[in-house]
Amino acid sequence: MEDIRKDEKVITATNKLKKEKVEVSINPKMFLLKHFEEELKKLENTKSDNLNEDESKLLEQMKKSFKENIDKYTQAKLDAYMVPLKYNDLQMIKNGILEALKYTQSFNFDEDIRMKAMIREEHTLTVYLSLRKKEDMNKKYYDSLEDIAKEPESTIEELYNIYLENFVLTEEERKNL
């Protein structure tokens, strides 16, 4: 029985190493969607009895605006493929982490901020280099680093975790190979 479990782990690890791509489909505006839904609930719980006519109109306009944003962000989709990183990609990530470290050291930021900047750089570059357009796998999903920098941290973290789950071996998986 133990041999079967070990074989299963070896197969899982081997499949990760052989994987050429993973289809990714997420809502990159999920955090905004949740924010607007929460704010709309607050507005809907506001009692309009104590408001004058102008305030009531403003409240209704705000509700309408929040509903429009909710509709817009509900439809937001990021459809792409994620591919494993190559050696050159890993070198770019390493260089990006070193640049983040130098930058934070130049401003004498404390250790926690330095670590956060280096982690953010690693995650952002991993997603940037591994995410590809569905219609053309040779093109990166984001045209530039500036484009991915506009994404919320929650989106980058979600994509980074997808990368880890599909392409990075855990310590246990490495031991079993």
- Give the tens place of pLDDT for each residue, 70-100: 998 888 899 999 999 999 999 999 999 999 9
Over residues 100-142, the pLDDT tens digits come to: 999 999 999 999 999 999 999 999 999 999 999 999 999 999 9
Inter-CA distances, 62 with 50, 58, 59, 123, Å: 17, 6, 5, 36
- In whole numbers, what is the pLDDT of the chain averaged over residues? 91
Query: What residue spans define the domains of the chain?
Result: 2-28+77-176
Over residues 161-171, the pLDDT tens digits come to: 999 999 999 89
The per-residue b/e assignment along 82-101, b for 16 or more CB within 10 angstroms, e otherwise, is: bbbbeeebeebbeebbeebe
Inter-CA distances, 9 with 13, 107, 164, 168, 172, Å: 6, 46, 16, 14, 8
Provide the token pair at 73: 């962000």
Q: Which of 152, 148, 141 is nearest to 125 (CA)?
A: 148
Residue 91 is inside which H or E element, if any? helix 87-106
